[in-house]
Amino acid sequence: MTQPRATDDRRGATERGYGARWQKYRVWFLRQHPLCRYCEQIGRLTAASVVDHIVPHRGDMELFWNMENHQPLCKPCHDSAKRREEATGKRPGCDVSGHPTDPNHHWNKPHG
Ligand SMILES: [Zn+2]
């Protein structure tokens, strides 16, 4: 019985919402919205695997759970969008070259 440990760093607070309830919601949401929205905009059909917050919730639970604020993205889109967003403050359309994935991003943390 290995249980994933909560992260010990400062991101713990904002990630607290990503619990079992979110995982269930995520599965449900991706079933309703199976295609990556950014890829769809450029005519590509890619299976979404991430429920992204359109407006960063930054720990705000109302924003976090607001369905209007959710969009389906594939992982490359999610990662590149977030990286650019942090760098430029705006969200790009989509230029998925398939990478890069930030190894420090919490989605990329290896198990254990
Ligand atoms: Zn995509």
- pLDDT tens digits along 61-106: 999 999 999 999 999 999 988 777 667 655 544 334 444 446 566 6
The pLDDT, as a whole number, for residue 23 is 93
What gap in Å lies between CA 52 and CA 48, rounded to an integer? 10
Q: What is the pLDDT of residues 16-36, one digit of tens each?
A: 557 899 999 999 999 999 999
Whether the CA torsion 24, 25, 30, 31 is positive or negative: it is: positive
C-alpha 2 – ligand 1 centre gap (Å): 32
User: Which tens digits make up the pLDDT trace of 4-18?
Assistant: 554 444 444 445 557
- Centroid of ligand 1 to alpha carbon of 43 (angstroms): 10
pTM above 0.85, yes or no: no
The pLDDT assigned to 92 comes to 46
Centroid of ligand 1 to alpha carbon of 38 (angstroms):
5
